[in-house]
Structure 1
Amino acid sequence: MSAIIETKTGTASRQNGIKAMVGVGLAWAFDAMDFSILTFVLVDIMKDYNVPLTLAAGVSSATTFARLGGGFLGGLLGDYWGRKASLILSIFWFSVFELLTGFSIGFTLLYLVRILYGIGMGAMYANGTPMLMELMPAKWRGLASGIMQSGFSFGYIFAALIYRGWYTDLGWHAMFYIACIPAVLVALFIWWQVPESAKWKTQLEERGRRSIPISQLFTSGHTWSTVHAGIISLLAFAVTYPINTFYATLLKSSGHFSAGTVADTIILLNVAGIIGNVVGGWVSDLIGRKWTIAISGICTLLCSFLFLHIDNNTLRTVFTFLIGLFSIGGVWAAIPTYIAEHFSTGVRSTGQGTTYHFGAALGGAVVPLIVSSIAPSVGGLASSMTYSVAIASVLVTIWVFFWRESKGTTLE
C-alpha cells in the first residue's frame, strides 16, 4: 500500500512539475515577446512621436531598469502571499500595460506605460522561476531551467512572426493589441491547472505567520548568495546582451547583407539559443550547474571572434550557431535553478527576482551602452563586441567557481 501511495505521489509531483514548466515557460516566452516587439518598431516610434533614436531606444532601457523594481517588489509579494497568486497577478499586470502600449498617444505616456510594463515583467520572473523550481523534482530541475530560459528566444521569434504577419497591414500599435492575448490565456491556465508551491505552503505553516523578507537577503546565511547571484547574473547578461542588442545592427551596417539574410541570421542565433538552453539544462543535471556555465563561457570565448569575420558566409553561419548555442543558450541554461538552489524558500522569490534583475539592469542596459561608446576608439562595433563578449565570458567562467555546486540539493 505504501508503495502505491508513493507511486501516486511521485506521479502527481511529475504532473505538477510539467504543468508548471508549460505555464511558466509560456509566460516567460510571451513576456519576452512583448519586450522584443519594441526593438522592431523603434523607427516607427521615432517617426510618430518625432524623437531621436537615443530617446526611442531609452524606452527599452527604462523598461529594463523597471524590471529590477518589479523583481524586488514582486519577489517580496511572492514570499509573503504565495508564488501562484503573485505570478498570475504579474502576468495580468504586464498584459494590461502591453495593451496600453498600443494606445499610447504621446511619447511621455508611452515611456510611463513601458516602465509600468517592466515592473510586471520583473515580477513575473521573480515568482515563476521559484515556483517552477519548487514544483519540479530535483533530478529534472536543470532541464526545466533550460526549457524555461529558452522562452526568451522563443519570445524573440514570436515577435518576429507577429511583425512579419501583421505589421504591414495593421501598423505597430496593433502588434501590442495582439501580443497581450496569449499571455492572458497562460495566466488562466496557471490559475486552473498549476498548484501552489507545496514548499512555500509548508514553510508558511512552520513559520506560523507571513513575513516580508527584505533583511534576509543579507542575513540568515544569504549574504554571499545574494552578492554572488547578483554578480553572476550581471556577467551572464554582459555575455549575451551585446549580441542581442548589436548583432543585427552590425550585419546591417556592413552593407553586404540583404534584409532576408539579416533576419535569417538572427533567427539562426535564437534557434541555436533554444537548443543550447534545453541541452545545457539537461547537461547541468548530469555534470552540475557550475561546470555547465563554465564550459559554455569558455566556448563563447573561443567563438567571440565571429563578429570580426561576418563577411565570410561559412564562418558567419557556423559561428552564429555556435555562439547562440553557448552564449544565448549554454551560459543561461542553468542559471535559473542555480540561483534558486542557493536561497531558502522563505526568501527565494525576493532573492531570485532581485539578483536576476540587478544583472539585467547593469549587464543588460549599461553594458551595451559601454560597448557602443567604446566602439570608435577600438576599431568599430565588431571589435568592441568581440572584446566585451570575450572579457565577460572569462569573468563568468571564473566567478562561477566562487560558489558551491548545487546540483541535486534539496530546496530548504
Structure 2
Amino acid sequence: MSITPQAQISAQDKSYSAKALVSIALAWAFDAMDFSILTFVLVDIMKDYGVPLTLAAAVSSATTFARLGGGFLGGLIGDSWGRKAGLVISIIWFTIFEFLTGFSIGFTLLFLVRILYGIGMGAMYANGTPMLMEMMPAKWRGFASGLMQSGFSFGYIFAAIIYRVWYGDLGWHAMFYIACIPALVVAIYIWAQVPESSRWRKEKSASKSHSVPVSHLFKDGNTWNTIHAALISLIAFGVTYPINIFYATLLKQHGHFSPAIVANTIIILNVAGIIGNILGGYLSDIIGRRAVLIISAIGTLACSFVFQSISTDWERNLFTFLIGLFSIGGVWAAIPTYIAEHFKTTVRSTGQGTTYHFGAAVGGAIIPLIVSGIAPSVGGLAHAMTYSVAITSILVIVLAVLWRESKGSVLE
C-alpha cells in the first residue's frame, strides 16, 4: 500500500514535533539545572565570600532580573531571525557563562557572571517555548506545555544528583563545569536535526516588514493580553521561587539534615513537579487552562504549611510531594500554552519572552528577597515561606477567574 504525499507530510510533521518536544524540553531542563545548582551552594557562597543570606540570595535574584533583558532581546531575535537561530544562540550563551561561574574568584565576579548567564536563560525560553507551541497540534499543545515545563523540575533533580555525587569530592566550583556540558550537546542536536517553525516561516514570508512590531503588544486589543500574561507569570513565580531558592537552605540550616537527605527531599519535590506538570498539561487540554490553574492553586494553599513540618520524615516527604505536585507542577503546567495562545506569530517570541521574564524578574527575584528579609521578624524562614506561598496562591486563584480561556484556539 503506497503512502500519499499528504500522509508523508503528516508523518514528517509528527517526527519534527517529537524532536522539537524532546530537544526543547531537554534544553529547558539543562538550563534549569544550571540555574538550580546555585540554590544548593548558597551556604558555601555565604561562607567563602563572607556574605549574609540576603546578599547570597541576591545572586539568584540578579540572574532572574537579567532574564527579563534576555527574554526581550532573545524574543526580538526569534521574531526577526527565527526561533531556531535564537534558541541555539541562547543555549551557547548560557553554557559559556555557566562554565565561567566556576572560575569566579570573588563575590563581585560571581555576581556579574550570573547576570550574563541570566540573559541567555531568558533568551532560551523566549525562543524555545513559542517554537514548540507552533510545532505542536492544537489538541496536544497543553500536554506539550506541561511536559516542557516539567523540564525545570528535571533540571532541579539533575542539579540535586550532581550535588549529591560530586559536591563532597570536587567542591561547589566544579559543579558548574560539569553542568554546562549537556546543554551544549542539545544545542548541536537542535541545529542539526530540528527544523525552523513552519508557522514562523509562513508568517515571515508573507510579511513585508523585517522589523519586529514590539508596539503590537499594546495595540489591536492586545493590551490586556500582555498585562495579564505578565501578571499571571509574576504571581506564579511568587508561588514557586521561594520554594526553589530556599527549601534546600531551610533543610540544611534549620533542619540540619545531611546532603543526602537534602538531595532526596528536593528530588521528591521535583518528581512531584514533573508529575504535576505532565498531568496538569494533559488535563488542560480536556478541562481547560483556567480549571487546572485554580485547582493547583487551591492544592498549593492547602499544603503551604509544609515548611514548618520538616522534622518528621513522613510529614516532610508527604507534604513535599503534594506541594511539588500542585505548585512546582500544576500551577505552571498551562502557563506556557496560555501565553503562546494570546500572542500573534509576528510578536510571539517577544511577547512570551518579555511577559514570562517580567514575572521572573518581579515575582522570582523580589519576592524571595522579601521572604529572606522578613524571616527574622515573622519567626524564621519556615514561617516566611509559608506566608509567601499562601498569599500568592490566593492571588493565582483571583487572576485565573479573570482569565480568558484559550484551550483549542488557533495560533494566528
TM-score range, shorter chain: over 0.9
> Partner of 1:128: helix, strand, or coil?
helix
Q: Deviations over 1:225-253 (max 9, x none)?
A: 11000000011111111222222333344
> Could you tell me how far 1:36 is from its partner in structure 2?
1.1
> Could you tell me how far 1:373 is from its partner in structure 2?
2.6
8 Å Cα contact 1:76-1:213 kept in structure 2:
no
Partner of 1:272: 272
Partner of 1:337: 337
**Number of equivalent positions:** 412
Within 5 A, what are the aligned runs for 1:123-162?
123-162=123-162
Residues 47, 257 of structure 1: CA spacing in aligned structure 2 closer, same or farther, 3 A cutoff?
closer
Higher mean C-alpha deviation, range 158-167 or range 47-56: 47-56
Within 5 A, what are the aligned runs for 1:67-82?
67-82=67-82
> Partner of 1:286: helix, strand, or coil?
coil
Q: Deviations over 1:7-60 (max 9, x none)?
A: 222222221111111111111111111111122233433444444444333221
Q: Distance in 2 between matches of 1:49 and 1:312?
A: 33
Q: Distance in 2 between matches of 1:163 and 1:252?
A: 13
Q: Distance in 2 between matches of 1:137 and 1:278?
A: 17
Higher mean C-alpha deviation, range 264-273 or range 157-166: 157-166
Q: Distance in 1 between matches of 2:111 and 2:384?
A: 29
Within 5 A, what are the aligned runs for 1:10-409?
10-255=10-255, 257-409=257-409
Q: Distance in 1 between matches of 2:268 and 2:197?
A: 36
Residues 218, 302 of structure 1: CA spacing in aligned structure 2 closer, same or farther, 3 A cutoff?
same
Residues 193, 334 of structure 1: CA spacing in aligned structure 2 closer, same or farther, 3 A cutoff?
same
> Could you tell me how far 1:168 is from its partner in structure 2?
3.0
Higher mean C-alpha deviation, range 402-411 or range 323-332: 402-411
Q: Distance in 1 between matches of 2:251 and 2:337?
A: 34
Q: Distance in 1 between matches of 2:129 and 2:291?
A: 21
Q: Distance in 1 between matches of 2:75 and 2:127?
A: 6
> Could you tell me how far 1:179 is from its partner in structure 2?
1.4
Q: Which amino acid aligns with 1:305?
A: F
8 Å Cα contact 2:135-2:197 kept in structure 1:
yes
Higher mean C-alpha deviation, range 121-130 or range 209-218: 209-218
> Could you tell me how far 1:254 is from its partner in structure 2?
4.0
Higher mean C-alpha deviation, range 98-107 or range 252-261: 252-261
TM norm structure 1: 0.95
Q: Deviations over 1:275-301 (max 9, x none)?
A: 111111111111111111111111111
Higher mean C-alpha deviation, range 168-177 or range 282-291: 168-177
> Could you tell me how far 1:402 is from its partner in structure 2?
1.6
8 Å Cα contact 1:213-1:350 kept in structure 2:
no
Give the aligned CA root-mean-square deviation in angstroms.
Answer: 2.0
8 Å Cα contact 2:39-2:248 kept in structure 1:
no
> Could you tell me how far 1:396 is from its partner in structure 2?
0.6
Higher mean C-alpha deviation, range 152-161 or range 308-317: 308-317
Q: Distance in 1 between matches of 2:20 and 2:170?
A: 34
Q: Distance in 2 between matches of 1:218 and 1:188?
A: 36
**Gaps (5+ residues) in structure 2?**
none
Q: Distance in 1 between matches of 2:112 and 2:307?
A: 35
8 Å Cα contact 1:83-1:127 kept in structure 2:
yes
Higher mean C-alpha deviation, range 75-84 or range 394-403: 394-403
> Could you tell me how far 1:369 is from its partner in structure 2?
1.8
Q: Distance in 1 between matches of 2:69 and 2:383?
A: 33
Residues 262, 51 of structure 1: CA spacing in aligned structure 2 closer, same or farther, 3 A cutoff?
closer
Q: Distance in 2 between matches of 1:406 and 1:355?
A: 17
**Gaps (5+ residues) in structure 1?**
none
8 Å Cα contact 1:256-1:311 kept in structure 2:
no
Q: Which amino acid aligns with 1:318?
A: L
8 Å Cα contact 2:310-2:316 kept in structure 1:
yes
8 Å Cα contact 1:146-1:277 kept in structure 2:
yes
> Could you tell me how far 1:187 is from its partner in structure 2?
0.4
> Partner of 1:287: helix, strand, or coil?
coil
Q: Which amino acid aligns with 2:35?
A: F
Higher mean C-alpha deviation, range 385-394 or range 352-361: 385-394
Q: Distance in 1 between matches of 2:133 and 2:110?
A: 35
